Structure 1
């Protein structure tokens, strides 16, 4: 595999399967309110074919109103890490992708409570966003406790496969940081094998989190159940 992934914008991305849940338990009335009242203003436009039939590249500066650095969180879960980063770094803009609507509702509640304004929310597959982001437009990316897909026959569904990593590398700036956190040893094994092949260099890997890390609900569950978190930092080559 080439160390330099395809950089040209593809107006006709291939059809793809989606694996995972989109809905969970019945939403509380307050969460339904967050979705109806807040999500529309926070969604980046031009991601879906209905909004953007020509699949033209979207301008990240238009999302946040200026040319600030843009970060990306893939699968933000309940949103605590994303809101923490937005509050800690008000000078950046952060886009979060999450197809699980219950997680989206939880994030919106946290955004309200924290009062952060430098966030954007795509309630869908991260690949749809990466299809329309310009090359080298993302300054930092996070993959925290992704779905482990533990069965061997399902490992191709993991995010750390070329189907996801090549588009991610395309939209990341040279030198941009990519962080991965997981409590599944085999997921980290695959991460360490696949991410460098997509155009990233390993910077650090081990049980110590980043200085600005906020432990998520998924990490707390892993610790309660006796699993050891692992953290890896890569840099876009």
Structure 2
């Protein structure tokens, strides 16, 4: 039996930071002025206790939905939104400093096909319609390097099973990481959740995607001598 909060919400442990350094005045202003208007809709339990699905047609029309899980500073998310105006984007990020950074980039780029969920991706999965996501990105997720913390990683059934539910047959999942053990766990767990690894030769995981924008996390990894891996999966068809 699943544990719940008193109000009925599922009990979910959250690991990681929600706040960092004090925000600059401009970043605080972005949060106050822009964030509410860029919400995808009622996601949190308190605002949507019946877990009604998001109205994606109202958000993006008939455009396919692309999702970035943990967008960091938002540079890749804005890059993809600029390159793909025919897609709708939702970015998930609980770290409010990263959200503020993304809001500044959105202002600068002027993209209009992007929405932000400043919280746990699992809450968003609860309200996304089944098979609604055409592409998802998991880029340099928190590695949780200690063995006893591996269950906190995103590539566990707790996260992958609801992600698989909302991804359409044939949808693409991209995972980038510089941590060899994260690669191992990804290759073990993601196929179990209903995805097929598409690599045909070593270049497919050693070289970045053609539309890749290197993030600040990747640049740090390269400076410190770690090797990025680029893993591409395809959602299995449903019987």
Shorter-chain TM-score tier: over 0.9
| Matched length | 225
What is the rounded CA distance, in whole Å, between the counterparts of 2:59 and 2:185 in structure 1? 33
Deviation for aligned residue 1:45 = 1.3
Pair 1:209 & 2:204 matched: no
1:13 is displaced (CA, Å) by: 6.4
Q: Deviations over 1:198-237 (max 9, x none)?
A: 0000002521010000000000000000101001000000
Residue 106 (1) aligns with residue 101 (2): yes
- Kindly indicate whether the alpha-carbon contact (under 8 Å) linking 1:45 and 1:51 is maintained by their aligned counterparts in 2: no
Maintained 8 Å contact 1:27/1:102: yes
Aligned to 2:5: none
* Pairing 1:23–2:22 present: no
Q: What's the CA shift string for 1:115-148, capped at 9, x where partnerless? A: 1110000000000000111100000000000000
Offset, 1:189:
0.5
What is the SS of the residue equivalent to 1:72?
strand
> Where in structure 1 do 4 or more consecutive aligned residues deviate above 4 Å?
none
Deviation digits for residues 173-205 of structure 1, max 9, x if unmatched? 000000000000000100000000000000025
1:67 shift after superposition: 1.6
User: Structure 2: how far apart are the matches of 1:159 and 1:53?
Assistant: 25
Secondary structure of 1:24's aligned partner: coil
**TM-score, normalised by the number of residues in structure 2:** 0.92
TM-score, normalised to structure 1, is: 0.93
CA RMSD of aligned residues (A): 1.0
- For 1:197 and 1:171, how far apart are their aligned partners in 2? 16
Question: Which of residues 67, 82, 104 is equivalent to 2:62?
Answer: 67
Residue in structure 2 matched with residue 8 of structure 1 by the alignment: none
The partner residue of 2:186 within 168, 191, 197 is 191
* Partner Cα distance (1:61, 1:21) in 2: 33
Partner of 1:231: 230
Q: Give the conservation status (yes or no) of the 8 Å contact 1:137–1:171.
A: yes
Aligned partner of 1:57 in structure 2 is 53
Query: Residue 141 of structure 2 corresponds to which residue in structure 1?
Result: 146
CA distance in 2, matches of 1:35, 1:187: 33
Name the structure 1 match of 2:114: 119
SS in 2 for 1:135: coil
Q: For structure 2, list consecutive stretches of 5 or more residues without a partner in the other structure.
A: 1-7
Which one has more relative contact order, counting CA pairs under 8 Å at least 6 apart? 1
Q: Distance in 2 between matches of 1:49 and 1:14?
A: 9
1:133 corresponds, among 114, 128, 132, to 128
Q: Does structure 2 conserve the Cα–Cα contact (< 8 Å) formed by 1:160 and 1:191?
A: yes
